[in-house]
Amino acid sequence: MAPDLFLQRIAGNLSRMDKIINPAPFYLLLSVCCCQVLAQAPEQPQTYGIGRTATAAEIAAWDIDIKPDGKALPPGSGTVAEGEAIYVAQCAVCHGKEGGGGPNDRLVVHSAEEPFPDASNEDTWRHRTIGNYWPYATTVFDYIRRSMPMNLPGSLQADEVYALTAYLLHLNHIVPADAELDANTLAQVEMPARHRFVPDDRHKYQEVH
Ligand code: HEC
């Protein structure tokens, strides 16, 4: 209870008691209570004494997001064939052979003509994949690098991520079988859903960063 509310209640009780008995001892009690309540009121500390300032190296390790235009893509490269070998060893157990039929998300469209998912159509909406829904190829790289394989995120080297991205884009009919991706070529890949999204430029609501 807030100290002032506590004191108000005591004062209210005392004023009712006034009518029946000598109030002097109770005012003494009230002043003792006041002192105790005020002494107990916690002071806001300058610091809670936990944590420390992150080091530049720690911030750099977290600061790995890739922009849609490929800004911040690391050096390195990988081919579709290299990606297939890594996929079989580290991804197929959850995502299935060639990107489908596993216990987790389907990563590949059913056909090259699979349409953009329609939110009002349960059937197509369930089939949102990299190939028909993701607007930027660079996001595939970013996502795999930061979060896959799900049991060991952050374990893949840049070359491996380029290779896996190349393999998955190939399975999605977006790059040819002999494609080799690096910072330059990946940023140039145009995804089928590229023009299905627009930047959210509403300024009506409070922005949360
Ligand atoms: C232990 C199981 C597991 C393994 C292994 C795994 N994934 Fe995943 N992956 C998941 C799960 C679960 C999700 C869905 C995560 C979510 O929706 O938050 C996912 C999501 C994805 C997605 C996003 C799919 C989408 O359309 O939203 C991609 C891309 C992906 N994984 C790629 C990979 C690659 C590449 C590998 C191998 C390096 C890999 N995954 C290994 C479990 C796994």
Q: Is 109 in the pocket of ligand 1 (CB under 6 A)?
A: no
Q: What is the pLDDT of residue 12?
A: 46
Q: What is the pLDDT of residues 21-77, one digit of tens each?
A: 554 554 544 454 444 555 566 788 888 889 999 999 999 888 999 999 999 999 999
CA of 107 to the centre of ligand 1 (A): 8
Q: Is 130 in the pocket of ligand 1 (CB under 6 A)?
A: yes
**pTM: predicted TM-score of the whole model, two decimal places:** 0.78
Between 130 and 15, name the one with better pLDDT.
130
Residue type, 75: P
Q: What are the domain boundaries of the chain?
A: 3-38, 64-196
For ligand 1, atom 31: residue with the closest CA: 148
Whether the bond into 135 is cis, omega within 30 of 0: no
Q: What is the pLDDT of residue 10?
A: 47
Among 82, 87, 130, smallest CA distance to 107 is for 130
Among the listed ranges 5-9, 110-114, 136-140, 181-185, which one has the minimum average pLDDT value? 5-9
In the DSSP assignment, the letter for residue 74 is P
Q: What is the pLDDT of residue 47?
A: 81
CA distance 141 to 153: 13
Q: What is the pLDDT of residues 155-174, one digit of tens each?
A: 999 999 999 999 999 999 99
Q: What is the pLDDT of residues 101-152, one digit of tens each?
A: 999 999 999 999 999 999 999 988 989 999 999 999 999 999 999 999 999 9
As beta bridge partners, residue 78 has 181
CA of 160 to the centre of ligand 1 (A): 15
pLDDT of 179 higher than 80: yes
Q: How sure is the predictor about 14, in pLDDT bands with cuts at 50, 70 and 90?
A: very low
**Maximum CA pair distance of the chain?**
99
Superfamily of chain region 64-196: Cytochrome c-like domain (1.10.760.10)
CA distance 172 to 193: 12
